[in-house]
Structure 1
Amino acid sequence: MFAEKLRAAFVVARRDFVAVIFSKTFIFFLAGPLFPLVVGAMAGSIGAQVQQDLDNPTVGVAMPAHQGDRLIRARDAMADRMAGPVPSFVVLERLRDGETFDARGALAKGSGVAAVITGTLDAPVLTGTAERLGSWQGMVSTFAARARSASPASFPDVRSEVVTTSVAQQRNQQVLTAQAGQVLLFLLTMLLAGMVLSNLVEEKGNKIIEVLAAAIPMDALFLGKLFAMLAVSLVGIAVWGTGYGVLVVAGARAMPVLAAPAVGWPLFLGLGFLYFAMAYLLLGSLFLSIGGMASTVREVQTLSMPITMMQLMVFFFASYALARPGTWIETAAIVFPVSSPFAMLAQAAQKPALWPHLLALGWQAAWVLLIVRMGAGLFRRTVLKSGAGGAPRRRGLQAVLRRRPA
């Protein structure tokens, strides 16, 4: 039974795909990315705010006795007077006399700090990346002088030890990759998923949908339309990607270089493709269910605003969850079906584990089938006016598809 429905769905998908690809309006559709570019610029400001929330560096302190506590109190007392952002200070370890601390090891192990202060208040040592040391050396010297005396007469020299990178810096770079993936996924789904609405309303207007419903189950019909629009979307993405590649080869400015995601670029791109497909199918199935209730283009235009707002809210929710790792907000974004592709793509950029993606893709696919089945049942009862026992008699599918509307 399921195999029969799947075959019928692919027949409908092939019919819709050919009809859309060889239509004149498809050329105008390919010019559609001009509008999302504007929206992307606006979304970039939100991404900058998220990055600002994430980029709140912490400096670890490992000094003898209570010198570290004195340094932190000096930092808290002077933070409001400093020009620019001041990182948080936290005690990593209180050392005994003669004891040493492996600052490089702490940065390499992922202790959550961007730099480490060791030594003493008279001779502090700052270990971190080159860009951190350049901006924080003077600040550490000022705090150390204040920790020694309320009215310092001199400021100690801060010796620096440079490390190539730190776990905290690597995480921030991967967050940028995750943000870029989420923004691209949002722009593509916002641009492409709305096609499902117009396609369904058009066929409702010329009665084709009723003819098709007489031949195959409604859930197979809905699934076929989703597959067709997904295939059309992939054609559009291929054209846009090729155009971008031509511009780059011709000498245009390329996109900024992003940090390698935790799963590696090949797997990240593959997961990005799968999550785009799932995001499109999830939103498309919702649009089919909603659009099935609309009978005119005007009603579709009325529905387009709340639908667009829903897409924006899903994107904002997933972006907000990105800035709250390990909280219930991140878990909710992963579990909620519509935001799950966005949240899991961010996970691929930051965590190397692969098994959560297998679970997430299965979870999302199950929701696609559930929403399609519910939407088809609602369409059958409210539009076609047929219940379980009143379904129209089905004829051969190929014969129905060859029939021309009057």
Structure 2
Amino acid sequence: MSDPFIDASGNKPKARLSLLQAAWVIARRDFLAILFSKSFFFFLLGPLFPLVVGLLAGGIGSTIRDSAGAPQVAVVMAPGDAAAMMEGYDALKRQMGPDRLPDFVVRPDLMASQSDTIALLESSEGNLAAVISGSPQAPVLTATPERLQRYRGTVALVASIASGKGPADFPPVSLQAAAGSGANQQDAQRATAIAGQTVLFLLIMLLAGMVLSNLVEEKGNKIIEILAAAIPLDALFLGKLFAMLGVSLVGVAVWVAVGAPIVYFAGAAIPDLPQPGVGWPAFILLGVAYFGMGYLLLGSLFLAIGSLATTVREVQTLSMPVTMAQVLLFFFANYALAEQGTMVEWIAIAFPLSSPFAMLAQAATQEGYWLHALALAWQAMWVLIAVRLGSGLFRRRVMQSGPAVKEKGGKGMLALLAAPFRNGSRAGG
């Protein structure tokens, strides 16, 4: 009895490639084809154009950073003196308006440490900008040098009202300079977060569009249908996504290699970004990871859009809503930076398309790594979901050739699947 699995030449055909093997074949093919093409050189010139967009986004982020929270001045005095200072502050605020004064807050929890207010201010977290100790008759202001001059007059006015002397007789204000404060550190880390979000957004938006042009080109010359007939569609989508991610990382590496000497020779002309919460090595690694997740999420959406389009014009029309939504999500993540610890921030972290931007801001402003591990796992799950949905949409929209089969008891894809069984039963009868 002949073996039905042996072909005419006497050899058994090779088994079909697995999902990962097929994805690797597609990824290697697309990666090499794009990397050694002429268009890749012009693609490397792309960052010159969105550079202006990055500067504008940085200006908007600076506005958001400034409005993220008013600096606080802690009143660290005996309960009676602290109450008198707050009464004087409220009276002055009614006369001058709340927008012209810093926020005075009573901090009885800091009373035990008031013996060394300089160390207290430098080690404090949050938005603490200055500390007022002593008494209303002889207040002591501790702050950074620039804030000493800014707050000195306000403290003198509040102390004069609190001590009952009136504005004509200001008590002397002793000044103590501190090297830094919690407010300075928070503002500096916000600057790092905004810069990281802006760079991440520009890279993702610039590079994710490559998957669209590649897919539409292969649909036009029918290569995509040949590939889809030979390997699983999930593998085809995964291979294209990771090929484009690899090309994007090569482009980023080239841009860093070109920009590093410019930054080095510019020296002091480029302002130093402050230390992020997780440190620079971990921040850079997390930035690469969140770029990969954000790219794969947006790229999978673009692949799904590409399965619906047959021309470049249709691609532009269908991708416009996704592009605009991504811009809005970027600014939403910027806004969540000003609302840290609230429900707004957690929504930005949970929503897949804004999660990479929100979590990169977390890396810049907060310590710890466990939340990043959970966020990366959450984003990876949504990448798999988007790939499966996109490949299913592609299968329904592209791979059906000819009119749908309509029979009693089923139609469309169900009828196509059931037709061989019905035909076989008829032949047997």
| TM-score, normalised relative to structure 1 | 0.89
**CA 1:388–1:37: 2 relative to 1, 3 Å:** farther
Contact 1:64 1:94 (8 Å CA) reproduced: no
- Count of residue correspondences: 390
Contiguous gaps of at least 5 residues in structure 2: 1-14, 402-412, 418-429
Q: 1:209 aligns with which of 216, 220, 224?
A: 224
Aligned residues of 1:62 and 1:101 also touching (Cα < 8 A): no
Say which SS state the counterpart of residue 116 (structure 1) adopts: strand
Q: 1:269 aligns with which of 281, 284, 287?
A: 284
- Paired with 1:254 and 1:199, the residues of 2 have a C-alpha distance of 40
Relative contact order (alpha carbons < 8 A, sep ≥ 6): 1 or 2 greater? 1
- Residue 345 (structure 1) aligns with: 360
**Aligned mate of 2:101, from 80, 83, 86:** 86
1:396: which partner in 2?
none
Equivalence for 2:42:
28
- Selected match of 1:4 from 18, 36, 50: 18
Q: How far is the alpha carbon of 1:151 from its aligned partner? A: 4.2
| Greater radius of gyration (CA) | 2
Root-mean-square deviation (Å): 2.7
Instruction: Give identity over the alignment, percent.
Output: 55
Aligned in 2, Cα 1:262/1:249: closer, same or farther, shift over 3 Å?
Answer: closer
1:46 maps to amino acid: I
Match of 1:260 in 2: 275
> Could you tell me whether the CA contact under 8 Å between 1:68 and 1:94 is conserved in 2?
no
- Are positions 1:298 and 2:313 aligned together? yes
Report which stretch shifted further, 274-283 or 353-362.
353-362
Distance 1:151 1:124, change over 3 A: closer
Asked whether the equivalents of residues 30 and 236 of structure 1 are also in contact (C-alpha less than 8 Å), the reply is yes
Give the secondary-structure state (helix, strand or coil) at the position aligned to 1:160: strand
Quick one: structure 1 residues 273 and 390, their matched pair in 2 at CA, closer, same or farther if it must change by over 3 Å? Answer: farther
**CA displacement, residues 190-227 of structure 1 (integer Å, 9 cap, x when unaligned):** 11111111111111111111111001111110111101
Q: Which of 232, 239, 252 matches 2:254?
A: 239
Query: In structure 1, what residue type is equivalent to 2:293?
Result: M
Change (3 A) 1:248 1:173: closer
Distance 1:388 1:42, change over 3 A: farther
The amino acid of 2:183's aligned partner reads A
Q: When the two structures are superposed, what TM-score results if normalisation uses the length of structure 2? A: 0.84
Aligned partner of 1:278 among 267, 282, 293: 293
In structure 1, give the amino acid aligned to 2:320: M
What is the CA–CA distance in structure 2 between the aligned matches of 1:171 and 1:127, rounded to whole Å?
A: 18
Are 1:191 and 2:206 counterparts?
A: yes
Q: Residue in 2 aligned with 1:120?
A: 135
Q: Give 2:9's aligned residue.
A: none
In the aligned structure 2, how far is the partner of 1:335 from the partner of 1:196? 25
Q: Which amino acid aligns with 2:151?
A: W
1:74 aligns with 2:88: yes
Which amino acid is 1:39 matched to? V
Distance between the aligned counterparts of 2:74 and 2:46, measured in 1? 49
Which is worse superposed, 361-370 or 245-254? 245-254
The verdict on how the C-alpha distance between 1:230 and 1:326 changes in structure 2, with shifts beyond 3 A counting, is same
Q: Deviation at 1:3?
A: 8.5
**1:278 CA displacement:** 0.7
Q: Which residue does the alignment assign to 2:174?
A: 159
Asked if the contact 1:9–1:221 (Cα under 8 Å) also holds between the matched residues in 2, the reply is yes
- Measured at CA, do residues 89 and 251 of structure 1 come closer, stay the same or move farther in structure 2, by a change above 3 Å? closer
SS at match of 2:77: strand
Aligned pair partner of 2:322 in 307, 330, 342: 307
Among residues 37, 46, 50, which one is paired with 2:64 in the alignment?
A: 50
1:3/1:212 CA distance change after superposition, 3 Å: closer
When structure 1 is superposed on structure 2, of 68-77 and 197-206 the one drifting more is: 68-77
Query: 3-state SS of the aligned residue for 2:87?
Result: helix
1:21, distance to aligned residue in structure 2 (A)? 1.4
Separation in structure 2 between the aligned mates of residue 381 and residue 241 of structure 1, nearest angstrom:
41
What amino acid is aligned across from residue 265 of structure 1 in structure 2? W
> 2:140 touches 2:175 (CA, 8 Å); kept in 1?
yes
1:122-168 C-alpha deviation (Å, 9 max, x unpaired): 11011122222121112211221233348422111211122222233
| Most deviating of 12-21 and 125-134 | 125-134
Aligned twin of 1:401: none
For 1:370, what is the secondary structure of its paired residue?
Answer: helix
- 1:134 pairs with one of 145, 149, 167: 149
Q: Does 1:289 align with 2:295?
A: no
- 1:39-91 CA deviation, whole Å, 9 max, x = no partner? 11221222012111225101111223433233233333434638984210111
Amino acid aligned to 2:381: A
**Matched residue SS, 1:232:** helix
Match of 1:381 among 396, 409, 419: 396
* Residues 390 and 261 of structure 1, relative CA distance in 2, 3 Å threshold: farther
> AA paired with 2:78?
P
